Amino acid sequence: MVVTHSIEPTAQDTDYLKSVWETIGYNSCPHFYNFHMHTIASDGKLTPYNLVRQAIAIGLQGFAITDHHSIDGYQQAQSYLSALDSDNTIKNLPHLWTGVEVTSRLLDVEVHILGYGFDPQHPALSLYLQGEKPQGQDAEVKKVVDSIHQAEGLVVLAHPERYRCSAEQLIPAAADCGVDGIESYYSYGNPKVWQPSPDKTPKVLALAYQHHLFSTCGTDTHGLSLLHRL
């Protein structure tokens, strides 16, 4: 298959993405939406082709591939979806948005920032799509958030209960830096059946609501199944 590097306009439809995020709940992931997945383009085990095949088999309505500092996996997946659409091979294909995960720093703690629906050709993002994590001031969350916003994307703080600093501290600080949402529905501990962690999710949801932020969901898949993390 020939991989093109054009970006589908629908992959940058942030208005639609916001409308989806407004509906996200405990049962949205992993069978309806999934906004956090990795391929062999970074540190995942799935090829973009196999990831798309699983997304279709699961019946996902929408998803984003969030490889670390790379959109190579997204581009291959979008090329395959476009071919399926052109051939009219499969009806009701899932919606794919551009996505990336950027290693950043907030309150002197390493955190992960998820970007969605951005224009990857925008010069503000060139530094963050080179396959390497940023350094120094370029890694500060405010700089990362501003860069994704300049590229007309949306920004989410990933898995806020996985860091050396508490969610109670990080979420207000992330809100002050301009993030649009929090990955509120996340399965900590990699259980056999993916579900939002019952001991952490209510607190994160409350903080997201308090700071007027969207709540998103994702499996953070690094293994061979989109229904698990590892």
Q: Can you tell me whether residue 172 is helix, strand or coil?
A: helix
Amino acid at 155: V
Tokens of 140: 């500060």
Those residues with Cβ within 8 angstroms of residue 187's Cβ, 6 or more apart along the chain or in another chain: 194, 195, 196, 197, 219, 229
Residues 170-224: tens digit of each pLDDT: 999 999 999 999 999 999 998 989 999 999 999 999 999 999 999 999 999 999 9
Reported confidence tier of residue 8, pLDDT bands at 50, 70, 90: low
Residues 74-90: tens digit of each pLDDT: 999 999 999 999 888 78
Which of 148, 203, 201, 158 is closest to 178 using CA atoms? 148
- Asked if the peptide bond before residue 94 counts as cis, ω within 30 degrees of 0, the response is no
CB 182 within 8 A of CB 215: yes
Give CATH for domain 9-217: 3.20.20.140
Which of 160, 179, 183, 178 is closest to 109 using CA atoms? 160
Least confident among 24-33, 52-61, 80-89, 192-201: 80-89
**Residue-level pLDDT at 5:** 36
Tokens of 166: 């508490």
Please check the confidence at residue 9 and state whether its pLDDT lies above 80.
no
The percentage of the chain sitting over the pLDDT mark of 90, rounded to a whole number, equals: 91
Dihedral angle over CA of 9, 14, 17, 22, nearest 10: -160
Please check the confidence at residue 71 and state whether its pLDDT lies above 70.
yes
**Residue-level pLDDT at 159:** 98
Which of 178, 104, 114 is closest to 146 using CA atoms? 178
Tokens of 28: 């949205």
Query: Largest Cα–Cα distance of the chain, in whole Å?
Result: 50
